[in-house]
Structure formats: structure tokens, C-alpha cells
Chains A and B, each alone.
Chain A
Amino acid sequence: AQSVSQHNHHVILSEAASLELGCNYSYGGTVNLFWYVQYPGQHLQLLLKYFSGDPLVKGIKGFEAEFIKSKFSFNLRKPSVQWSDTAEYFCAVNAFQAGTALIFGKGTTLSVSS
């Protein structure tokens, strides 16, 4: 079945460590890609998005993501995490093959220790 996969279920880092969260999708054709973040007890916030153009997109709070079409991947990165980055991170895809519904990955819990 077509899907969105986030390989890391729970990532634990110390402050100032670098972060990379993996996201792979299995839809062909045109896709729109998103990363959402959900801080403890808060709502889903859009971190960044990719529609077309430069495959390296920058989002809020120092996050960036790279779209690699050949690998069907959209990995999230941050050079130096902070304690306040502790949250749940969801990758999501809009694709014509999915009927354009927003398909979420299962999420990655990021815990950052100070």
C-alpha cells in the first residue's frame, strides 16, 4: 500500500546536537510535502513545505528539509537542536495518487536534553 514512512520512532539528543529525521513516501507523480510539529499539549504547526523549485527548503525555527525525488525522500534537518525543540514531528504528503488527501507519517518523538 502507498504510504508515508518515518523511520525514527523516538530520537533522543543532547542540546547542540544535529538532527536529521527521515521521511519517505511511495506516491509517484506530483507531490506536495510538509513537515508539521506538535509541541507537548499544543496544536499542529506547519514547520515547512515543498511544492516545487529549489529542493532545499527552509522553515521556521532554523529547520530545513531536502526533497530528493529519486529517493522519494523529504528529510528534516536542524544543525543544532535546543531543548525547546522537544516535540512530535509529522511528515505529510499531498499527492494526486492519494486523492489529494493529506497523508501523515506515524510521527517521530524528539526528546532533547539540556
Chain B
Amino acid sequence: DTEVTQTPKHLVMGMTNKKSLKCEQHMGHRAMYWYKQKAKKPPELMFVYSYEKLSINESVPSRFSPECPNSSLLNLHLHALQPEDSALYLCASSQDQGGLGAKNIQYFGAGTRLSVL
């Protein structure tokens, strides 16, 4: 079973709302990731945190704001989203980031299914 926990499982929000997605892992992993996945499509990388510092931002609009309060937690703050932002948001973690090998295997959470009305 996955050891990456995401809350909430489902979220419906209006375009003027502010909400946050949460991700937690207790595997001691030092790299954490946010992905966006549309139906029947592969996950698209949004952000990568390595040792609690933002290391990759894949040109994501500023209405998505990531935060890594500590090595176990990753948040994604949402503000003024558009209907096209409706998707499954996946969190993943790996022991390390930036190399190859077992330390870079990514483990995924169950995701938050977001609907923007």
C-alpha cells in the first residue's frame, strides 16, 4: 500500500476560492513532487522539492503555490483557479532526487480529485 497520504480525496471549489491540498509521507524521503493528471493522460510534473527547497518549477501558473513546511509535508495552495485546472493532483516522494537508482524511485499518493466550478 502507498505510504504517501493525500488529503482531501475530493475537492470542489469555485473560481474565487482559496484552498490547499496536503501531502504527507513518513518514509524519510527528502524529495517530494506535485503532479497534475488529466483523465487517461500521464502525470505532468508541476513542482519538485528536494531537502525542503524548491528545485523544479515546470512553469506552473502562480495560482498554484507549493509549500514544504518540513521534510514530511508538502502543500499545494490554490487560488483563483480556472475550470481547466480540474484534474487529479498527485503527490509523490522519493528518497533522493537528481540522480539514478533505487533512491530515486517515486512513490505516489492516491491523489486529490479537484473540480473547479
Contact = CB atoms under 8 A, between A and B. Distances in A.
Interface in A70-114: 88, 90, 94-96, 100-102, 104-107, 109
B40 A51 contact: no
Interface in B83-110: 90, 92, 97-102, 104-110
Contacts of B59: none
A46 B100 CA distance: 16
Given A94-B104, A101-B56, A107-B40, A43 B110 contact: yes
Contacts of B69: none
A32 B42 contact: no
A36 B2 CA distance: 13
B13 interface: no
Residue among A104, A105, A106, A109 with most chain B CB within 10 A: A104
Interface residues of A, number: 25
Interface of B: 2, 40-43, 45, 48, 56, 90, 92, 97-102, 104-111
16 contacts: A31-B100, A32-B101, A42-B110, A43-B90, A51-B100, A88-B40, A90-B43, A100-B97, A100-B98, A100-B99, A101-B48, A102-B106, A104-B43, A105-B42, A106-B41, A107-B40
A20 to B, nearest CB: 20
B25 to A, nearest CB: 13
Contacts of B110: 42-43
B4 to A, nearest CB: 8
A30 B101 CA distance: 10
B113 to A, nearest CB: 9
A106 B104 contact: no
Contacts of B97: 100
A109 B42 CA distance: 11
A94 B98 CA distance: 10
